[in-house]
Structure 1
Amino acid sequence: MFYPKNFPKKLEKDLVILLLYIQNKTKTELTSKNLVQYIHQYLKTSNKTIFNGSVPSYWWLQFILYRHKKKFSADFVDLIRPLLTKTKTRSLSGIIPLSLFTKGVGCPFNCAYCPNEPGIPKSYLSDEPAVMRALRHKFDPFKQTQSRLIMFCLSNHPLDKVEIIIKGGTFSFYSKQYRIRFMKRIFHACNTNIQNLIMTGNNQKEKSLDFNEEQKQNEKALSRIIGINIETRPDYINQSELRYLRKLGITHVEIGVQALDNDIYTLIRRGHTIQSVINATQQLKDAGFKVGYHLMLNLPGSDTHKDFVLLKKAFENDLFKPDHLKLYPTAITPFTDISKWYKEGIYKPYSLSEMIKTIIAFKKNVVPEWTRIGRLTRDITTTMMENKQFPPNLRELIQKEMSAENIACKCIRCREIKDTQIQGKIKMRIIKYQASGGIEYFLEYVDEENHSLGFLRLRIPSYITNKKIKPMFSVLKNASIVRELHVYGQSTEIGSKTKKNIQHKSLGEKLLKKAEKITQKQGLTKIV
């Protein structure tokens, strides 16, 4: 019989009785305040010391509602479920992001800043939350994926649109045999009926199919994978690798750029040059991938001025211009050469206040509306930092200071509509820009407060304007490429008839129709 890890089986009957008590107290409405009051009333009147007199974990209650569904009225379940959602922001971008880790070294290089903790994928540390989850499941991709889907379900999130985020170092370094088995296990987990598993407790595993069959089956599964994100090095990108990534279903590639400066690359023993970044960026975009950069601040050989100049270079030079950015301040952690350099006085990082000023200047003066800043720091705890040069809540500190100075970041993440109301009329706007030898069209729906409701990235590839270059795939011949289409707002289940959520206002369909018109004007015969 299946039970989620950390669920207190001994309290199952008490939790059922508690929910029945709340149901009897509930008439036509239930609020968060009422819910907590009813729980405390039950604990007081029943003279029970269960839950140590505290409110039990809400996911326990969600589990009971699934496992003992027949004991509760449908109206009561509809009232209480939304109140048990404690991490609503997880699905406010329209999907649920599911992170998991590959096992092993993950990279043959030895960059000076990169931790190499024994038993942990290179560049990561054992106290990072996602790493701890992976360790619990011994890096098994099926178990990692299934356990996260279960917890998302018990947090009341729709499971039908899943973005897989694979971490663990240079994905392209792993053997093809390991990678295809890893991906097959992910698809197999997403093809599992998670709600049925929770309700019945039947943990009998379905027979695993081969990779192609699992991938095909997922097209109609209850948890459809709508995007797969991997991280790799720019010098590992070539046509052969891109063909294999496409076979695996990869849609988003994050490359470790770190700093667009060859002198810094030499100093930190990066092992590639800026030209590798240029080549990888163009090949990825021309093959239809969404491109993310990892950039680092405060590396050896840099300072605040150089960091700002290099950030500008990434977004103003046509050879680069990533769609997505993760900005990582250099952390001095164990298992790195930078740690040794710091102790010897060779490496002297600049201060937190200087870092915040640099990032704010970047957000204010450089960040374009067509990029998304996913992160401003790593999930590294201060206990792992040998010099606590920045806190885990760095993003909050930056936002607070920007708010005080009335500065707004224009990146997509900062403008997402999330669960706020649309302000005034909505309109489609188009930003056209040159990038990596091709032409990019960023089509976006915004309201009068510049909230992003949804967008589409359309690329006219470099081989359309430069006949010396040939498309990597025959299907791309004489075609424009939709590299990304995303409609924001609370994730809504496929097939839902509700009109309240932004995801069901046909914005995606309208963006595609506009992309088709642009494609026709370019003299191209199709859009892929």
Structure 2
Amino acid sequence: MDPRQPDAPSPESAILDLAAELARRDDLPDERWLLRFIRARNAGVRESGKHLKKRKLLPYFLAVEEREPNHWAQAGINGELRERLVRLLRAKPRRTASGVATVTVICKPWPCAGRCRYCPCDMRMPKSYLANEPACQRAEQAFFDPYLQVSGRIATLHAMGHPVDKVELIVLGGTWDDYPLPWRRWFVARLFEALNDGCGAAAQSERQRLRDLYRERGFSAVGERRAEECAGVQAPVATGELSYNAAWKRLYGTDSRWRALAEEHRAGWDRVEAAHRANEDAACRCVGLSLETRPDAVSEQSLYAMRWLGATKIQLGVQSLDGDRLFASDRAADAGCVAAAFALARRFGFKIHAHMMANLPGATPAGDKADFARLVDDMRFRPDEVKLYPCALIAGTALERDWKAGLWKPYTREQLLDIMASDVAVCPPYLRISRMIRDFSAGDVVAGNREANLRQAVEERLAAEGRPVAEIRQREIAGAEQDPDALSLEVFAYATAATQERFLSWQTPDGHIAGFCRLSLPNQGDVAMIRELHVYGRVSELGQVQPGAQHRGLGRALVEEACAQAAREVFSAIDVISAVGTRPYYRKLGFCDTGLYQRRPLP
């Protein structure tokens, strides 16, 4: 060994030096500063395998802390200094900047009652999803098991330095109500049981047990092998000779392994309720549960079941309100069906998340703009959140055959930017656009948008044109520090077909949002409803006061203002559609458990 060759840098010494640097300064260095620090440590070390790496520093810090709880405190790293160090080392801080750690899980492949022409039919996945999508890859590697998906994801987020004590669960894949109710109860119970076990040794042991169990039964988590298993039916599905449902029956419906799982994966309401009770004071609490369905599948019975499962938000595949466009796409739900689904969902207090698509068969740029304007202007609709994305042509769909026949063509980039910018510009202040693209890989898209940063391009277009934007996502404070005394309470009132809605928000002087509350005042009845309460800022660990907007009383103040406004409108009580993990919070604010909701009498 060359005596002049520097020793490999030590993560221990690097962390101690970083902590010393943070103790000397008032600000938090940025990512570029940290990378320069690491490069300086690696200078002269020829073997790249011995280099200090940013992604390994935080896992090392947390592992030492778990093994020796007093190790870093004895070195002078505790309290605020520890929090600043973790923030500096945290990977992908945007993941929890909106106030919660989001975990997406995918349901198993299952027959779908829809037959939309643009919908992908990947037999490895539930209908409309592709194996190359990130969440789908994680689901396949976890055998579509809900416990493995949630437990593995929160373990990864925890290792990246993200607090996981407040988790929003988003369940995607097919149509939720198409799955058997006993399976739906089992699936949700296992989601909560994974949260209840947290990130400790018990969760790690259960993950290993489950992986061993699936492998022993002959299931594979390897994408290539799954593709081979599905190859026999995938080809005729791609040519239109075989429907997704018929292929599913051949592939899964007659497979003794999948049928055995279907018999085992059943649960009653008692198991769901037990998992809920345990989650109320668990280390990882569920602060939101979103389920995905079609407008034509919505009924009082389905919404009642969703609420008992703990759901707080419903994602509805609207796609368009134009009858001709829907007919050309083989969509079953028309505008009247969508309006009925919205009215029912709002009556139950759910946050409504609509999916809209531009460039469907038969669409024009002008028609797409009018379609979205109708969604946000018409009192029968007016959702709280929207996924807005262009139709992409995926191989093996009926739309591909239309494209080859010259019956459909994708918009140009300029047309797309014009449509999307127009849609964002007409968004009211209470609406949040959560996504502008699907997570399809560029290789899966035969024709249409492949631009992963389409949203950024739209925002740049709006900024260049000087067009004001009221949409929530562009006004979130994210992880920025805020002075609570500089915030003002703003109220935006609007009407729907069955309610008077009020969007209460804490805003900075420049119009950014630090938190909001959705208050719903029904036209009939004397009980108001809080449909959503959200305070932005980096996720703070429960019971700890940390920088950012959370844990500064902003949420409590919004609740009190909502109660005061409902009382002035002569409502006798107010309900909140609380998530399971937020029940204790609302009890402290005077709400009592009442059936599907928590209720507080009004003076």
- Shorter chain as denominator, the TM-score bin is 0.7 to 0.9
TM-aligned CA distance change 1:201 to 1:114, over 3 Å: closer
Confirm whether residue 489 of structure 1 aligns to residue 494 of structure 2: no
In structure 2, what is the equivalent of residue 216 of structure 1? 277
Q: 1:438-477: per-residue Cα shift (whole Å, max 9, x none)?
A: 111111111110011111111112433xxxxxxxxxxxxx
Give the percent of matched residue pairs that are identical in Structure 1 and Structure 2.
28
In structure 2, what is the equivalent of residue 381 of structure 1? 441
Larger mean CA deviation between 225-234 and 334-343 belongs to 334-343
- 1:290 Cα shift? 0.4
SS at match of 1:484: strand
Contact 1:162 1:223 in 2 (8 A): yes
Contact 1:21 1:42 in 2 (8 A): no
- 1:421 Cα shift? 4.1
- Matched to 1:229, the amino acid is S
- 1:101 Cα shift? 0.4
- Matched to 1:263, the amino acid is D
Q: 1:294-325: per-residue Cα shift (whole Å, max 9, x none)?
A: 00000011100000001110011101000000
* Counterpart-to-counterpart distance in 1, 2:19 and 2:164: 30
Contact 1:417 1:452 in 2 (8 A): yes
* Counterpart-to-counterpart distance in 2, 1:26 and 1:527: 50
Confirm whether residue 22 of structure 1 aligns to residue 14 of structure 2: yes
Q: 1:25-55: per-residue Cα shift (whole Å, max 9, x none)?
A: 567225667765665566567x673626462
Confirm whether residue 396 of structure 1 aligns to residue 443 of structure 2: no
Contact 1:382 1:388 in 2 (8 A): no
In structure 1, what is the equivalent of residue 101 of structure 2? 96
- 1:353 Cα shift? 0.5
- 1:236 Cα shift? 0.7
* Counterpart-to-counterpart distance in 2, 1:261 and 1:343: 24
Structure 1: runs of 5 or more not aligned:
1-13, 465-477
TM-aligned CA distance change 1:38 to 1:171, over 3 Å: same
In structure 2, what is the equivalent of residue 55 of structure 1? 53
In structure 2, what is the equivalent of residue 138 of structure 1? 143
Which of residues 103, 119, 124 in structure 1 aligns to 2:124?
119
In structure 2, what is the equivalent of residue 7 of structure 1? none
TM-aligned CA distance change 1:70 to 1:94, over 3 Å: closer
- 1:68 Cα shift? 4.1
- Matched to 1:61, the amino acid is Y
In structure 2, what is the equivalent of residue 370 of structure 1? 430
* Counterpart-to-counterpart distance in 1, 2:317 and 2:287: 23
* Counterpart-to-counterpart distance in 2, 1:83 and 1:421: 15
Q: 1:397-438: per-residue Cα shift (whole Å, max 9, x none)?
A: 112222222234211111011123447832111111111321
**Aligned counterparts, 1:33-432, within 5 A:** 49=47, 51=49, 53=51, 55=53, 57-58=55-56, 60-62=59-61, 64-66=63-65, 68-69=67-68, 72-74=71-73, 75-76=76-77, 78=82, 80-105=85-110, 107-195=112-200, 210-364=271-425, 366-422=426-482, 425-432=486-493
- 1:218 Cα shift? 0.2
SS at match of 1:255: strand
Q: 1:200-224: per-residue Cα shift (whole Å, max 9, x none)?
A: 9897989x99221111110110111
* Counterpart-to-counterpart distance in 1, 2:126 and 2:562: 41
* Counterpart-to-counterpart distance in 1, 2:519 and 2:563: 10
TM-aligned CA distance change 1:405 to 1:143, over 3 Å: same
- 1:23 Cα shift? 4.7
TM-score for the superposition, normalised by structure 1: 0.88
TM-score for the superposition, normalised by structure 2: 0.77
TM-aligned CA distance change 1:106 to 1:96, over 3 Å: farther
In structure 2, what is the equivalent of residue 459 of structure 1? 520
* Counterpart-to-counterpart distance in 2, 1:460 and 1:156: 40
TM-aligned CA distance change 1:205 to 1:219, over 3 Å: farther
- Matched to 2:320, the amino acid is A
TM-aligned CA distance change 1:385 to 1:193, over 3 Å: closer
Contact 2:536 2:549 in 1 (8 A): yes
TM-aligned CA distance change 1:60 to 1:343, over 3 Å: farther
Larger mean CA deviation between 484-493 and 188-197 belongs to 188-197
Larger mean CA deviation between 68-77 and 397-406 belongs to 68-77
TM-aligned CA distance change 1:33 to 1:434, over 3 Å: closer
* Counterpart-to-counterpart distance in 1, 2:16 and 2:478: 34
Contact 2:387 2:436 in 1 (8 A): yes
Structure 1 runs (4+) deviating above 4 angstroms are 23-27, 30-45, 195-198, 200-206
Contact 2:391 2:448 in 1 (8 A): no
- 1:151 Cα shift? 1.1
Contact 1:43 1:49 in 2 (8 A): no
- 1:262 Cα shift? 1.4
* Counterpart-to-counterpart distance in 1, 2:553 and 2:19: 37
* Counterpart-to-counterpart distance in 2, 1:316 and 1:428: 24
- 1:359 Cα shift? 1.2
Contact 2:481 2:548 in 1 (8 A): no
* Counterpart-to-counterpart distance in 2, 1:56 and 1:23: 11
Contact 2:410 2:447 in 1 (8 A): no
Contact 1:96 1:159 in 2 (8 A): yes
Larger mean CA deviation between 49-58 and 149-158 belongs to 49-58
Larger mean CA deviation between 218-227 and 421-430 belongs to 421-430
* Counterpart-to-counterpart distance in 2, 1:506 and 1:440: 23
* Counterpart-to-counterpart distance in 2, 1:23 and 1:373: 39
* Counterpart-to-counterpart distance in 2, 1:171 and 1:143: 19
SS at match of 2:394: coil
* Counterpart-to-counterpart distance in 1, 2:430 and 2:387: 15
SS at match of 2:20: coil
Contact 2:504 2:558 in 1 (8 A): yes
- 1:124 Cα shift? 0.8
SS at match of 1:243: helix
- 1:497 Cα shift? 3.2
- 1:261 Cα shift? 1.1
Contact 1:229 1:253 in 2 (8 A): yes
In structure 1, what is the equivalent of residue 26 of structure 2? none
